[in-house]
Structure 1
Amino acid sequence: MTSLRQDLSKRTFFVLSGVTNVLSKPLAIEICRNLSSGSVVVLIDLHEESMQEIKKEIELLERDVKVFCTPIQTWKDTNRTRFQQILNAILNKYNSSGCNFELAFILHNEGTMATDDLMEPSATDEWLSYVEQHLHAPVALNRAFLHAPQFSKITKLVVNITSSLMIRPSVYNTMMCSCLSARDMYFRAMANKEHGSGVNVLSYSPGILKTHKPQRDSNQNVIDLLHLDVERRLLGLPRVGLKETSLKLINILRETSFISGQDVDYYDTFFI
């Protein structure tokens, strides 16, 4: 299942789900630098202010890209029907004007992939809320995105922002490790299922960002990373800038043939 290099300089329908994560803004900006005139960007999140901030930055690029901010009330209320309504409302407008997209691209950055608060399970409702945001929402949105009739004849690109560190078992972090591992497996399985349907899937781990903060327990005591059962080799890796890791992802998509469903880490030396 080798994928061809992904040409991002097409008239693209680009969806970014989750914008409050610190990586969303540089990702959106750098990706939009490549998009062709007439492309459409759809931002989906709970926080209108964050979406408007990214919208302004994209418009400053002067790429003739239309940006739609789509606020949702809560990740719990999101389902395939709701996402279908969001996509159809925008797509129908452009279909009526004769604008044909050449690429459908969705980037999943829902939730907090790295946090200074350790994710140890507590009450059931907190578990459910976390799973709804980090797993249920991307699955529901993917189902609506992949089955949109407007995309039936064009290439579809699905990118999942994950963490090669947090999908491993570690103490004090049960909830995040469990959910991200399930999410990672979902995207792998989806790549196999959609093989042959013009769908390319990549899970990308952006590295240990320079913006990462020390982790704390529920009493706000700083936890030594060595206590999290993390390999010393990983702790010695260089911290990564937001723009730097965003450009690395774009380089992987544009310049390298990758295996659909593959997990790629920023630190992988195979990818330049």
Structure 2
Amino acid sequence: MDISGKTVLITGAGMGIGALACIEFAKAGANIIGIDIQKKEMNETKKQVEALGRKFFPYACDLSRPDNIDTLVRQIGYDKLTFHILVNNAGIAPSGPYLSQNFSTWEKAISINVNAVTKLTYLCLPILKSHQKAHIVNLASVAGKFGSEGTVIYSATKHAVVGFSQALRMELYDSNVGVSWICPTMVKTRMIDGVKPSVFTPIIEPIQVVKAILAAVRKNQGEVMVPSRLRFSIVILPALFPEFALWLAVKMKASKGWLLANKGLEKNIPK
């Protein structure tokens, strides 16, 4: 799919991977519909996109609230905007022992990481299908391929994103809409503040993930691991030797950093 001249809807457009994705899509010739919890979160993103000569349309939406998602898609229609690419990037990663958080924190992660992704995709699919070519990119994680301590609910949500994306890609296989899901390791953003990495989960730069997103759209790729070498330790090894992979992950403290960080909700996420 050629990105130039297209419009891309990106959630979590105010910072991190989402903001950088807006800029890189703009460099590739796309206009952007940016979504974040408040419009002011996207001021800098808007400035950088417009400096590249592309249009940026900001919309505020609390993705944890289904009624907000309904209103968002209706408003985009009222504004006579359309889009060819949907990037479900927004997500949160509370962590720690499963019983360490009030369950409402885990529910918030499920509402943003799973419910919002599936509902927004459901509402956007008719718009995407109206174009000759369209694409959906869902941000998953290596945690969506191999669950580990400290990330019980986060892993559950990202497994859901992987399963949803795989099934949707199959269902839309003969249609004009492609589906990709990106599974990065730990990315150097605010999300991993205070979390110690391990050999299983090295830290990568946000640009590596964004480049993978653009490549997935251009090539209609399905599952993309970032970096690709993680496929052996995260997918192949556990499939061939599940008990050994589990023992190794525990002994090498693969996600002990998430367990000890015991992260709650981010400051800009309402409880």
Q: Smaller-chain TM-score range?
A: 0.7 to 0.9
Structure-2 residue corresponding to 1:8: 3
Q: Which one has more relative contact order, counting CA pairs under 8 Å at least 6 apart?
A: 1
State yes or no: 1:246 paired with 2:210.
Answer: yes
Cα shift at 1:176? 0.6
Cα shift at 1:111? 1.4
Among 88, 100, 104, the residue aligned to 1:108: 88
Change in 2 beyond 3 A, CA 1:139/1:126:
same
Structure-1 residue corresponding to 2:254: none
Query: What pairs up with 1:158-197 in 2 under 5 angstroms?
Result: 158-197=136-175
Q: Residue deviations 1:5-55, cap 9 Å, x none?
A: x2212x2121001235521111110111112xxx54211121222222211
Higher helix share: 2
Change in 2 beyond 3 A, CA 1:158/1:57:
same
- What is the alpha-carbon distance in structure 2 between the residues aligned to residue 50 and residue 109 of structure 1? 15
Structure-1 residue corresponding to 2:71: 82
Q: Which amino acid aligns with 2:71?
A: R
Change in 2 beyond 3 A, CA 1:34/1:60:
same
Q: Residue deviations 1:77-122, cap 9 Å, x none?
A: 44663343033123x2x5xxxxxx7x70010111125x6x437354
Among 53, 56, 63, the residue aligned to 2:47: 56
Which secondary structure does the structure 2 equivalent of 1:23 belong to?
Answer: helix
Structure-1 residue corresponding to 2:135: 157
- What is the alpha-carbon distance in structure 1 between the residues aligned to residue 135 and residue 44 of structure 2? 25
Normalising by the residue count of structure 2, what TM-score does the alignment of the two structures yield?
0.73
Q: Which amino acid aligns with 2:109?
A: Y
- What is the alpha-carbon distance in structure 2 between the residues aligned to residue 48 and residue 20 of structure 1? 8
Change in 2 beyond 3 A, CA 1:225/1:252:
closer
- Compute the RMSD of aligned alpha carbons: 2.8
Structure-2 residue corresponding to 1:31: 25
Normalising by the residue count of structure 1, what TM-score does the alignment of the two structures yield?
0.72
Gap runs ≥5 in structure 1: 1-5, 95-100, 216-223, 227-231
Q: In the alignment, is the contact (CA less than 8 A) between 2:137 and 2:217 conserved in 1?
A: no
Q: In the alignment, is the contact (CA less than 8 A) between 2:178 and 2:220 conserved in 1?
A: no
Which secondary structure does the structure 1 equivalent of 2:170 belong to?
Answer: helix
Change in 2 beyond 3 A, CA 1:58/1:195:
same
Q: In the alignment, is the contact (CA less than 8 A) between 1:26 and 1:243 conserved in 2?
A: yes
Gap runs ≥5 in structure 2: 231-271
Which secondary structure does the structure 2 equivalent of 1:141 belong to?
Answer: helix
Percent of aligned pairs sharing the same letter = 16
